[in-house]
Structure 1
Amino acid sequence: MAKHLDLEEQEQIDQIKHFWAQYGNLISWVLIVILGSFAAWNGWNYWQRSQGVKAAALYDEVDRAVLARDIERVERALADMQSSFGSTTFASQAALLAGKTLFDAGQVDKARAALTWASEKSGDASYKAVARLRLAALDVESKAFDQALKTLEVPVPKSFEPLVADRRGDVYMAQGKPDEARAQYQTAWQALGPRTEYRRLVEVKLAALGVDVASLSPTAR
């Protein structure tokens, strides 16, 4: 009986040896790939978390510089953010914040540079849209009306389309083209939700142009 069991065990061992000789290398490589991928995934997640923490800390530096009205510090912190963490949402937020601060400080060209960076480099379409809206406002301030309209030509997320139409209306108003402005304001008003606070501002603009919003399409209200 013992010999019979020994023979069965030997056969099983031989089968295992044969199987391993035939498929051992393949199995080893598969395990290496799986384990390597798992390690890489964990490493990537760790790197992402680490980058996020560092970017958040640098954004806080931009925010503190803004509160302190320290323009040089704002520029320095923003440059560090763009060079080291340009792909993060914190960089986009920092560029928008810095753009407003620089504009308020009379640094229009530097404000434009910050907003242009956000409009081109941000990985988030919403931040790009916000940056373009602000750039168009700067263009209107400098009476570069054609450039403002060109800035607003780039497609934006659907939720931003009413805001683009409203800003386009502002451009036409600044150009002395009330009919074109009215059409854009109407488009914006109709696209904005009835509970949207911004819609009231558009209503004021339409009223100034002699438009009673009650006369607009009831299906859009």
Structure 2
Amino acid sequence: MASHLDLEEQEQLDQLKAFWKRWGNLITWVITAALAAFAAWQGWTWYQRDQAAKAGAMYEEFERAFTAQDLDKAATAAGDLKSRYAGTGFAAQAGLQIAKLQMDKDKADDARQSLAWVAEKGAEASYRDLARLRLAGLQLDAKAFDDALKTLDAIKSTEFAALVADRRGDALLLQGKGDAAKAEYQKALAGLEKTQDYRRIIEAKLATLGVPTAVEPTTGAAQ
């Protein structure tokens, strides 16, 4: 009996040796790759947390300067965020805010540059599209109508669709394309909820183009 068991064990051992000889290297490489990938993921997660923490501290510095309306300090802090932590949401937020402060300080060219940076390198699509929407407005102010339309064409977020149509209508109207502008304003109006106050602005634009808008009748008028 003992000899029979020894033979079975030897046979199993031989099978295991044969299996390992054939597949051992592959198994070792797979395990090594999996461990390396896990270590890399852990390291990347730590790096992201570290970057976010440092960027958050720098953003607080930016906010203090922004609240104080100190353009020089705010611009410096925003620049540091863009150069050192460009991949974080803090850099995009700072870019949007510094553009507003630059406009308030009559620095339109600087504001366009700030928004252009966010539009190209913002960490998230929503930041990039918001920057494009604001940038298009500044381009319209500068009478760069074709540039504004190209900027608007790059916006893909559906939540901005109505505002994009409204701004595109402005560009077309300023180019003397009244009919095309009407179509865009009507598209913008259709894309807004009836409870949104911004509808009144678009309705006013349509009214100046001779397009009547629906008005709720008063109780007395209805009677």
Distance in 2 (CA, whole Å) between partners of 1:212 and 1:77 is: 49
Q: Which residue of 2 aligns with 1:75?
A: 75
1:54 matched to 2:27:
no
On the 8 A contact 2:132/2:155 being kept in 1, the answer is no
On the 8 A contact 1:93/1:127 being kept in 2, the answer is yes
Q: How far apart are 1:122 and its partner, in Å? A: 2.1
Q: How far apart are 1:145 and its partner, in Å? A: 3.7
**More deviation, 103-112/186-195:** 186-195
- Percent of residue pairs identical: 50
Q: Which amino acid aligns with 1:124?
A: E
On the 8 A contact 1:78/1:95 being kept in 2, the answer is yes
Q: Which residue of 2 aligns with 1:128?
A: 128
Matches within 5 A, 1:122-201: 122-172=122-172, 180-201=180-201
Q: How far apart are 1:138 and its partner, in Å? A: 1.6
Distance in 1 (CA, whole Å) between partners of 2:127 and 2:29 is: 44
Q: Which amino acid aligns with 1:57?
A: A
Q: Which residue of 2 aligns with 1:19?
A: 19
Change (3 A) 1:182 1:8: closer
Change (3 A) 1:21 1:148: closer
TM-score w.r.t. the length of structure 1 is 0.82
On the 8 A contact 1:95/1:118 being kept in 2, the answer is yes
Q: Which amino acid aligns with 1:79?
A: G
Q: Which residue of 1 aligns with 2:98?
A: 98
TM-score w.r.t. the length of structure 2 is 0.81
Q: Which residue of 1 aligns with 2:32?
A: 32
On the 8 A contact 1:98/1:114 being kept in 2, the answer is yes
Distance in 1 (CA, whole Å) between partners of 2:23 and 2:161 is: 59
For structure 1, list consecutive stretches of 5 or more residues without a partner in the other structure: 216-221
Q: How far apart are 1:155 and its partner, in Å? A: 4.4
Change (3 A) 1:24 1:166: same
Q: How far apart are 1:11 and its partner, in Å? A: 3.1
- Secondary structure of residue in 2 paired with 1:214: coil
Q: Which residue of 1 aligns with 2:221?
A: none
Q: How far apart are 1:95 and its partner, in Å? A: 0.8
Change (3 A) 1:212 1:97: same
Distance in 1 (CA, whole Å) between partners of 2:7 and 2:130 is: 78
Report the count of equivalent residues. Answer: 215
Q: How far apart are 1:209 and its partner, in Å? A: 4.2
- Secondary structure of residue in 1 paired with 2:161: helix
Could you give the per-residue CA deviations for residues 153-184 of structure 1, whole angstroms, max 9, x where no partner exists? 43432322221221133345556765554333
Distance in 1 (CA, whole Å) between partners of 2:189 and 2:134 is: 20
On the 8 A contact 1:62/1:98 being kept in 2, the answer is no
Q: How far apart are 1:100 and its partner, in Å? A: 0.6
**More deviation, 113-122/143-152:** 143-152
Change (3 A) 1:5 1:172: closer
Q: Which residue of 1 aligns with 2:119?
A: 119
